[in-house]
Structure 1
């Protein structure tokens, strides 16, 4: 009894570490409450929703590092008084991540992060008790258990992606567990991946192929969602950050267990390719298809193409969604992205247009020939920063007679669909608007808040039915945030095929499906006829570069770029550069279109590829080892 009492004291002290209960909590405590939660179907369903409630809200710029912790977007610093822009992700972008109180801490559930170990513990509680519910139909019980297995797998994956090798919490420990049992260790990456994949495979067996009760269940997990996330897990595990990464070869547990396999293994790419094809087949069989705009409105072919692109993610429930997050997704982010389009409603300060893409992001998109701007032999890359005046030939994309910069001419449809900028056109259900952002113009800076720091706006994030009200507020069509969509799996499949056998007809086929929807020629046609490197698509290295850029363009502003740069081990190359915007406080084109340095980023490799584990967690559990560099 005395030892047990000491144990409780130790656990209690651990709970108080940092004045929060967000540590690696594997011992259930509220036993009486747990027992009550499984006395009926209604109570058990509440617990099911508790397991869902931990999902990181990917559309939230406060908690998703992929928005403001990289360089795809940039915004004010220091943040003006009274402005609700989050500082935590920007601290990471500015190189200020730390070990004492890490920003966006998903390990402990602090400083903007959710407590994902607590999420896993609640998932385990659900799985341990769901069979006790007396009035639950067996088929529904199996489905709910499958959903929670998926969530448990996803929470492990989220932690793996952010922290690298992590503990595996297969079962919660009993109250009688010893102190040594509580102090779990990190497990090798390959073991963690296999555990996650095993959970997803098990979950997929009892998940529905699609949601039939759309009124109440959209956003719930389906078999295609489980298989698509499995594909993403295996593609991530096969990528250079986790596959043969010698930078982390010295990361070991205290007992000598090596946590990274430093030997590259092409079998991981084969496994990933098979998972992608399985996910594609399951998704297409369930009716998932690349989005096409079919609203009953008369629009030009150019506008229809733009709406195909924008609404692939911003439609209320896009046909392309394999898994959409419906809990408030696509809501506040529209206000952050939307500029003051209507010159008659400038007093309405409830939307900001502050989520500002950088010039690097603008340069990432292809030319209208479907190749990078520095490869297109028909496009004037050297003079891209020189001024040009739009003519009637450009008027589908630019304002006729308006002077802007060469960078904005003859670009691919996704550039105009995804981005708003000075001289651009912005189509909405209630009209077509002109964006004019130089000082004194409608979309320019008019005070300390409510403007784009770079001169660009994230049009893609705004649903076309967004309506600005006269005095305050707006109406919007809230859309499900695309956790994963069909184009994602297509491009992952092409990537995996290329890594296994190099360029192939099948790899081209799946890239070209995405390019066709974007209004582009095939990879083969574009590079052969317009690139100054026409043979690039015929080599494995060249096609890898093409697929990576295609991925970055197709999923611009959706939260991919931040994680993709890491898994490809390109973050240290891309995020060690100057961040640029236009000189937005200037009234004339000559001075406005000067590249203005906003910040010089520093990404320390290999340290910054993973989050640090907080010092408090390391003190509580001496068996945890810190990530390299922290």
Structure 2
């Protein structure tokens, strides 16, 4: 660990290689790793490189870069138009444990875990004269929180993982030194929770607010709750599908008995967060004389306004999200500007949004019309426009999330005129114009799309998600508790839809634990759409075999006029039981026989 490396290679040391071979031989010209801790600048560079491993979910392409996710295109809410995107393989259940993409998170996050451990072990001995003991402890807490966070990410992707603890493998490690088995999911959860608790004490009172993009006490407390929430979910809490997933010594890696107490622990952790940090964080709201538009702006801008009061954690300096999914997109053949949109919303997600009266479209009282057209003005249109009735009088979050044909897009053209999106075959966003950067579904994901390429923060976790998670945990642990309805209604009230049993035009309160469970899940689907949550929700609920398999529909983009509006089969997806978890990379299992492969792989 005292090999010589230059400052310019420090980042490469942290970001390249494999989780078993951490340092390669490098030129011995200027600086040893021990010397890094003699300078504040170099210490900050070291931990910044560990932070750099945080996933950059703004890219959404998942070509192995920046640990970006497949989470929208591989869920039932989205579809990509690019054949090279890995989601096209996942959605056919045609992926393999030998695929490079499967290794991306495993390798990168274990590398970051190793580097965080190295930082934790070295920071107390730092000799930088402008770095006092309190700062050393705080930075140690941040590194510890990062390590726990990367374990949490691995767990929700791969399930139970190998816990390295404070072991720091030497560069030459191999054979028996690496032969460590996976810990059980409950052991992994206990470790991550313990590490977050330690990090909370070490970080102390945060010096910077949420805008720093660093782990603070607030962030640590939130992710402790998230980890407990994941462990309580059906995928990992009494799941017989993993009965055969055991280590050589017979240790069961995923519990086979449902333990309701796990939900109670998660609910208690959320309450602990709310007690400590609310109202320091709060639901983001925008004022407007028109209540419908106020709800629309609130639900739109909570994502677009970086580091607002609802944000709990995010990545600093991310690039533009879904840059291919906004206008202007310049058509070189004729100089016209038009709407792009290679990441499309599915018909399933479009149908999942409520009507303006808060009812699902399947309710006869909702007023939903499946055919015909009406003059309708969306919240950001300047005037009414002929609109397909399926998209008329929907809840504000629908208009936040989806761009449809004959709706104003986010940009104006070079002359300042509005661009009206038309995804019919010959339209300005139709397939006659392009086969690549147009919507694959006849809908374009609008949420989280910015109007420029400036770097900004990208959201990981916000209070709205925590409110709904708390309600879910409480409904499983203590059905009928008053807080369940309270926190679901807080979300619905901000979203501008009628509440259950409260406010104006109230809806009937869900009458049973099961009915409330369905209501909470539906609320999550609308509120958290396109925020990289749905993929994990359907898996931890063990419902992806129903939601992520079978026919997927959209508009008929091969047609013009009214024929475009015919619901059309786009693809038939396949989801097998094995697909609930990523496989452990094949080379890891081959080189370390103690690591048992996930069931089905």
TM-score by length of 2: 0.87
C-alpha contact (below 8 Å) 1:92/1:103 kept by paired residues = no
Aligned counterpart, 1:570: 543
Aligned counterpart, 1:197: 193
In structure 1, distance between residues paired with 2:541 and 2:209? 39
In structure 1, distance between residues paired with 2:209 and 2:302? 22
The structure-2 alpha-carbon separation of the partners of 1:348 and 1:318, relative to structure 1 and needing over 3 Å to count, comes to farther
SS in 2 for 1:326: strand
Aligned counterpart, 1:8: none
Pair 1:481 & 2:458 matched: yes
Superposed CA offset, 1:309-354 (max 9, x none) = 11111113322101121132xx332422214489999847898421
TM-score by length of 1: 0.84
SS in 2 for 1:538: coil
The structure-2 alpha-carbon separation of the partners of 1:321 and 1:571, relative to structure 1 and needing over 3 Å to count, comes to same
Pair 1:377 & 2:365 matched: yes
2:163 to 165, 168, 174: 168
C-alpha contact (below 8 Å) 2:81/2:438 kept by paired residues = no
The structure-2 alpha-carbon separation of the partners of 1:527 and 1:292, relative to structure 1 and needing over 3 Å to count, comes to closer
C-alpha contact (below 8 Å) 1:367/1:373 kept by paired residues = yes
Aligned counterpart, 2:434: 447
C-alpha contact (below 8 Å) 2:296/2:379 kept by paired residues = no
Aligned counterpart, 1:456: 443
2:375 to 373, 390, 414: 390
Aligned counterpart, 2:424: 438
2:398 to 415, 418, 428: 415
Aligned counterpart, 1:71: 76
1:320 to 305, 310, 332: 310
The structure-2 alpha-carbon separation of the partners of 1:379 and 1:529, relative to structure 1 and needing over 3 Å to count, comes to farther
Aligned counterpart, 1:105: 103
SS in 1 for 2:570: strand
Pair 1:155 & 2:142 matched: no
In structure 1, distance between residues paired with 2:394 and 2:576? 33
How far has the Cα of 1:28 moved from its partner? Answer: 10
Q: Which moved more, 1:545-554 or 1:429-438?
A: 429-438
The structure-2 alpha-carbon separation of the partners of 1:230 and 1:414, relative to structure 1 and needing over 3 Å to count, comes to same
The structure-2 alpha-carbon separation of the partners of 1:29 and 1:612, relative to structure 1 and needing over 3 Å to count, comes to farther
Aligned counterpart, 2:285: 292
In structure 1, distance between residues paired with 2:241 and 2:587? 26
Pair 1:498 & 2:475 matched: yes
SS in 1 for 2:350: helix
The structure-2 alpha-carbon separation of the partners of 1:615 and 1:324, relative to structure 1 and needing over 3 Å to count, comes to closer
C-alpha contact (below 8 Å) 1:308/1:517 kept by paired residues = yes
In structure 2, distance between residues paired with 1:347 and 1:317? 37
1:612 to 562, 572, 583: 583
The structure-2 alpha-carbon separation of the partners of 1:129 and 1:401, relative to structure 1 and needing over 3 Å to count, comes to closer
Superposed CA offset, 1:371-414 (max 9, x none) = 2211352424xx52x122225xx565779675443321221111
The structure-2 alpha-carbon separation of the partners of 1:418 and 1:227, relative to structure 1 and needing over 3 Å to count, comes to same
C-alpha contact (below 8 Å) 1:162/1:610 kept by paired residues = yes
Aligned counterpart, 2:230: 236
How far has the Cα of 1:610 moved from its partner? Answer: 0.7
In structure 1, distance between residues paired with 2:494 and 2:45? 41
Aligned counterpart, 1:129: 122
How far has the Cα of 1:428 moved from its partner? Answer: 6.5
The structure-2 alpha-carbon separation of the partners of 1:517 and 1:107, relative to structure 1 and needing over 3 Å to count, comes to closer
Q: Which moved more, 1:91-100 or 1:432-441?
A: 432-441
Alignment RMSD (CA, Å): 3.0
The structure-2 alpha-carbon separation of the partners of 1:528 and 1:237, relative to structure 1 and needing over 3 Å to count, comes to farther
SS in 1 for 2:461: strand
Superposed CA offset, 1:261-287 (max 9, x none) = 1101111011000111122233325x2
SS in 2 for 1:292: coil
Superposed CA offset, 1:169-198 (max 9, x none) = 112345497842321110011000000001
How far has the Cα of 1:501 moved from its partner? Answer: 1.2
Instruction: Give the unaligned 5+ runs of structure 2.
Output: 1-15, 63-67
The structure-2 alpha-carbon separation of the partners of 1:598 and 1:24, relative to structure 1 and needing over 3 Å to count, comes to farther
How far has the Cα of 1:133 moved from its partner? Answer: 0.7
The structure-2 alpha-carbon separation of the partners of 1:440 and 1:620, relative to structure 1 and needing over 3 Å to count, comes to same
Pair 1:278 & 2:278 matched: no
In structure 1, distance between residues paired with 2:568 and 2:389? 17
SS in 2 for 1:275: helix
In structure 2, distance between residues paired with 1:613 and 1:348? 47
Aligned positions of 1:444-593 closer than 5 A:
444-445=430-431, 446-463=433-450, 466=451, 475-476=452-453, 478-524=455-501, 534=508, 537-589=510-562, 591-593=563-565
Aligned positions of 1:421-432 closer than 5 A:
421-426=404-409
Aligned counterpart, 2:301: 311
